[in-house]
Structure 1
Amino acid sequence: MLLLLAALPPVLEEAVLVGIGFIGARALAPQATAAWPYDSYHDLRWLMVYHNSWGQFLFGLLGVVVVRGLLSAGLTALAWPAQAPRPPLGWLVRRNLQVAALAAVIISPWAALSVAFSVVALSWYLLASLIPMLVLAPFLQRAGVTGTWWRGLPTIELLGWSALNFALLTLAGAVISSTRGGWGVVVAGLAGVANGLLWRQTVKAAVLPARIRWPRVPVAPVAIGLTMVAAVAAQWLIGLALGKPGEWMPPVVSERLPDRVPHAVIAIAGHDSSWNGRPPVDPRVERFSYQGLDKQGRPLPYAPEATHRSLESSAALLAAHVEALHRRTGRPVALLGSSEGAMVARTYLEKWAKPTPVDAVMLFSPLIRPGRAYYPPPGHSGWGVATGWELRGIFWLANLGREVKSGPDEPFVRSVLSNAPFYRNRTLCPVPGVRMVAFLPTVSAAEAPPGEYSRVPVFQLPAFHGGLVGRRAAENRVIDFLAGGRIDQPRREYDLFQRLGSAWQAPSLALGLNPVWAAEREADPAFTGRICEPR
């Protein structure tokens, strides 16, 4: 009965997802009966994306807590070890309902951050949202079986079983994303059976611990408090990982180009970058300015806040810069954009009239299929309304004391949200008459949902987001590409990492549901698994 109860919800969820063709979310199904807190993380990611009003959100949250509490109570009762007397079923139900409500409060900020990841496709948000799950798991797995769960350190056995559950869910998601049709249902069922076996082991480890260290110390409340604080601190840590504002000096800016390069080059920095106006070493190279051009057609210095403008307005500035540079030099223009800069370059290619003086584009760490979720602007209702306000609260706290403030409603982010069908489908699609190459760090594989992610040549190296700029191996390929060479060097592990990350992404909001996106007729990669489909 334990294995049947653990297998049935994943099978049903996977069968529904296969039936409607929602291939982008199939890897989540095994988490439907995972042990705490992976089960609640599964529920809340669905809820954070798929609610259309405050009423739907509150009703859905109540339903999530009740169903999760009852299901966990049943799994706990069936997994109870024979060596220990089992509490009354009513006590288990009350206890697990309480744990479900507590887990919803604790995990909600991290589920909201996973939606922020779906919007901007920045792997740091995905990685940041997973670490608390690993930390909280041993504590919450004790909470459903004992009244003194909040005191003492979890045992090494409980820590090991919870880590194994994470590994199992990751592997099951990867296998499901590699299968088609009914085979995914079979894998989900097997993963559910494995969940049942792990419930038996985690309940036993919690009920019959070998030894509890610090038995009088309230360790769990401290861990939970730190986890809640970490949801705010994560913004600061992500900013630190991405580098301080202004620290962008690629070799194409700091070194001279070889004579065999026929282009004039515009280097476009990413989010929160700044520029003091110092020109690049080579006169054929210019820095793009998020502040625009002066009266002589030269780029102006800019502060980090200037990068927060919308992608459309940045692309308009780039169009003026391209024309000015082409007139001044008489050379074809090449664009090298990093992160947000790559998205500015791609937006320019889509929005501005052809033909263009640009015939070569290098996209470093572009956002991989961003715009997979939505939340409306303040004062409006729509899909993800509660998620938007939770993200605003998190960012407001994170911005306290920060000189350069970021937010979920800054024009850059809202431009991605508003034009999600294009960015989700066509960021890495070919453009007639323009040679393109995408320089992708391998960590971006975790950003790419299952399915196709690029139809332009790629150059992949082990690195984090933004970490390829300045790498000598990448710089050599930049020069080769500018000189007319073809660059295409995918790595075998990229596809594997893409599948391993699929279980921990939030489900995509179906393009056809959101009226904000109705004007852009695009196929939905979350259902087709393909990009660059005809409009």
Structure 2
Amino acid sequence: MPDSPTPAPVPVEPARDAIADGRRGTGVIVSRRFVGLLVLTGLMPMIEAVVLVILGFRAAEGVPPQVTALWPYDTYHDLRWLYVYHRSWWEFALWLCYILVARGLFTTGLVVLAWPAEVRRPSLGWLLRRNVVLGVLVGVFVAPWAAISVAASVVALSWVLLASLLPMFLLAPFLQRVAVVEHWWRGLPSISLVGWSLLNFVVLTVAGALCWVTPGWWTVPVAGVAGVLNGLLWNRTVRAALLPSRVRWARVPVTPLAALLAVAVPLVIPPVTDLVPGNEQWIRTAVLERPLPSEVTHAVIVLTGYGSDYGGEQPADPRVQRFSYRGLDPDGRPLAYRSSDTTKSMADSVSLLARQVERLHRRTGRRVALIGESEGALVARTYLARRPDPVVDTLVMFSPLIYAGRAYYPPPHHDRGWGVATGWQLRAIFGLADVGGGPDEPFIRSLLDDAPFYRNQLMCPVPGVRIVAFLPTATATEAPPGEYSRIPVFQIPGVHGGLLDRRLVQDRLIDFLLGRPIAQTRAEYPLLQSFAAAWQAPPLPIEANPAWAGNRQPDPAFTGKVCLPAG
């Protein structure tokens, strides 16, 4: 960012009595600016909240407080809306330019209103140029993470959402200096700047939860109060950036280094989550590597999740069989498969499961219970919806992808459609990161194409089938708050694909196979759902997308409920 020859901020002595009584001189100006700052930051979230309440858009009501947040949360707010709601390249480019420039202009006004009276302010033109350029630069930095937040809406994975949010959190203290300090790239932010930025994250998180849980039009004043708090934080951060007690590492280009760190940190999240004991390991122990109790009357098919592999090992109990993403050999035994085989479309996996259910039932003469984890849970549940069979009367789902398919992007051969630019940006991100599969692999496209079913029907009862879902608490952050299930759930601490108290879950799994009802809810689950409301990308309404015309479902984003019949 070029530096204009502007004088460094110089403290000036204001008229003390004017500040004291707020009736004349500098004191009146400061008072009016401060009030104007609070009015402006409070009004904008209220306007967005009014629109959402009028539309009945419940799932997005946690987002408005971010309209006037500190950098970069404000830009993160803008781009998430844009990445979900554009239908062509020219529309995306037009709105992107408008958003970035408008954000720079708006921030200039906030900086002017927040500027401390005892510091000489640079010219308005300098601040305008600085903040407009900054708006563009922040937009460029935030854009990939906003796109990843949309990907998190598609796959409903908490670690993907966390990966999109961490760079914002890490870089926020540094960006507060860029808007007002000439040599912004050098030196560490002060402790006060770090504290105010952290407080803004807390305010936005709590305000998002309150906006969601507050009924009806009461959401609007709650959003307004959150905006006023944003204004106070703008006042404090501008002051802290201009009047630091001492700048540490004053000659070190810390801000560019922090940006590199912010980009790198999300890359370590998947390996870290892999360290948590996974479902597949204990499923092997509980079901595959030891005989089931003799009281269990079912034959069992175990469907492991995305990225799993299978070497062809036979379970210890002849009543149990591993689902193969490659199918069966001529003798009816599941074929070994590699992790790449788990990327196939849901329709193909359901067809393979149907054949395996039929062969297992014929061989054992027993009814069949399905035990699915993550993708395997979705395959099993989709099978019950698409190919209902009285042979299957029991389903256990571990870490199902709750409320997947909340956003959309068209296939690569389409040049129009909701999220067209988002899809290409995700393809570029996956390509640069050298991540296998990518956003167009058949499994992901199944979630996109059949999104209405996975949003509204996944966690619903099936006539004649006993169902339970084991949910790690991390899934509470994977979908907007509200009703998400009408089947029994067993909530337990853990992350997606990893449940911490494995012995308890093993016991409850066997209890369920023996026909005993099980359920367990935890008080923190709905609380975590509400706290995540601010950071979800706004969902695309089912009615808005022509690609979903053949699978219309009531939209939980507006009804706040699931399992409503199609009308």
Category of TM-score, reference length = shorter chain: over 0.9
SS of match in other structure, 2:551: coil
Q: Displacement of 1:249 after TM fit?
A: 3.0
Match of residue 507, structure 1, among 538, 541, 545: 538
Instruction: State whether structure 2 residue 158 is matched by structure 1 residue 123.
Output: yes
Match of residue 210, structure 2, among 148, 168, 175: 175
Match of residue 476, structure 2, among 429, 440, 445: 445
Alignment of 1:34-113 (within 5 A): 34-113=69-148
Matched residue, 2:298 = 263
One-letter amino acid matched to 1:509? L
SS of match in other structure, 2:371: strand
Q: Displacement of 1:269 after TM fit?
A: 0.4
One-letter amino acid matched to 1:379? H
1:140–1:54 CA distance, 2 compared to 1 (3 A): same
Matched residue, 1:492 = 523
SS of match in other structure, 1:136: helix
Structure 2: distance between partners of 1:330 and 1:168: 59
Q: Displacement of 1:238 after TM fit?
A: 7.2
Instruction: State whether structure 2 residue 505 is matched by structure 1 residue 474.
Output: yes
Rg larger for: 2
Matched residue, 2:16 = none
Q: Displacement of 1:99 after TM fit?
A: 1.1
Match of residue 32, structure 1, among 64, 67, 82: 67
One-letter amino acid matched to 1:490? T
Decide whether the 8 Å contact of 1:106 with 1:228 is kept in 2: no
- CA offset digits 1:380-433 (Å, max 9, x no partner): 121111111111111112227xxxx22111000001000000011111000000
One-letter amino acid matched to 2:395? V
1:176–1:236 CA distance, 2 compared to 1 (3 A): closer
Structure 1: distance between partners of 2:87 and 2:272: 29
Decide whether the 8 Å contact of 1:338 with 1:363 is kept in 2: yes
Match of residue 323, structure 1, among 338, 358, 361: 358
- Aligned pairs, number: 529
Alignment of 1:149-188 (within 5 A): 149-188=184-223
Structure 2: distance between partners of 1:469 and 1:227: 29
- Computed over aligned residues only, the root mean square deviation of the Cα atoms, in angstroms, reads 1.7
- CA offset digits 1:287-306 (Å, max 9, x no partner): 00000011111111101110
Instruction: State whether structure 2 residue 325 is matched by structure 1 residue 294.
Output: no
1:441–1:120 CA distance, 2 compared to 1 (3 A): same
Matched residue, 2:224 = 189
1:373–1:347 CA distance, 2 compared to 1 (3 A): same
One-letter amino acid matched to 1:269? T
Q: 87-96 vs 518-527, which deviates more?
A: 87-96
Which runs of 5 or more residues in structure 2 are unaligned?
A: 1-35
Structure 2: distance between partners of 1:245 and 1:376: 33
- CA offset digits 1:16-72 (Å, max 9, x no partner): 000001110010000000000110110111111111111111111111111111111
One-letter amino acid matched to 2:488? P
Decide whether the 8 Å contact of 2:277 with 2:498 is kept in 1: no
Alignment of 1:372-383 (within 5 A): 372-380=406-414, 381-383=416-418
Decide whether the 8 Å contact of 2:279 with 2:373 is kept in 1: no
Matched residue, 2:287 = 252
Decide whether the 8 Å contact of 2:494 with 2:500 is kept in 1: no
SS of match in other structure, 2:246: coil
TM-score by length of 2: 0.91
Q: Displacement of 1:227 after TM fit?
A: 3.0
1:176–1:106 CA distance, 2 compared to 1 (3 A): same
Structure 1: distance between partners of 2:279 and 2:290: 21
Decide whether the 8 Å contact of 1:251 with 1:475 is kept in 2: yes
Structure 2: distance between partners of 1:442 and 1:262: 31
Q: Displacement of 1:469 after TM fit?
A: 8.3
Matched residue, 1:407 = 438
Alignment of 1:217-256 (within 5 A): 217-229=252-264, 233=267, 237=271, 240=274, 249-256=284-291
One-letter amino acid matched to 1:378? P
Structure 1: distance between partners of 2:76 and 2:140: 11
Instruction: State whether structure 2 residue 405 is matched by structure 1 residue 371.
Output: yes
Structure 2: distance between partners of 1:110 and 1:241: 24
Q: 340-349 vs 466-475, which deviates more?
A: 466-475
1:512–1:321 CA distance, 2 compared to 1 (3 A): same
SS of match in other structure, 1:460: strand
One-letter amino acid matched to 2:393? D
TM-score by length of 1: 0.96
1:250–1:20 CA distance, 2 compared to 1 (3 A): farther
Structure 2: distance between partners of 1:296 and 1:100: 63
Match of residue 423, structure 1, among 440, 446, 454: 454
SS of match in other structure, 2:455: helix
- CA offset digits 1:347-403 (Å, max 9, x no partner): 100100x44311110000000100000011112121111111111111112227xxx
1:202–1:350 CA distance, 2 compared to 1 (3 A): same
Decide whether the 8 Å contact of 1:246 with 1:274 is kept in 2: no
Decide whether the 8 Å contact of 1:125 with 1:238 is kept in 2: no
Q: Displacement of 1:81 after TM fit?
A: 1.0
One-letter amino acid matched to 2:410? P
Which runs of 5 or more residues in structure 1 are unaligned?
A: none
Q: Displacement of 1:468 after TM fit?
A: 2.3
Structure 1: distance between partners of 2:556 and 2:335: 39
One-letter amino acid matched to 2:394? A
Structure 1: distance between partners of 2:444 and 2:378: 12
Matched residue, 2:344 = 309
Structure 2: distance between partners of 1:480 and 1:246: 19
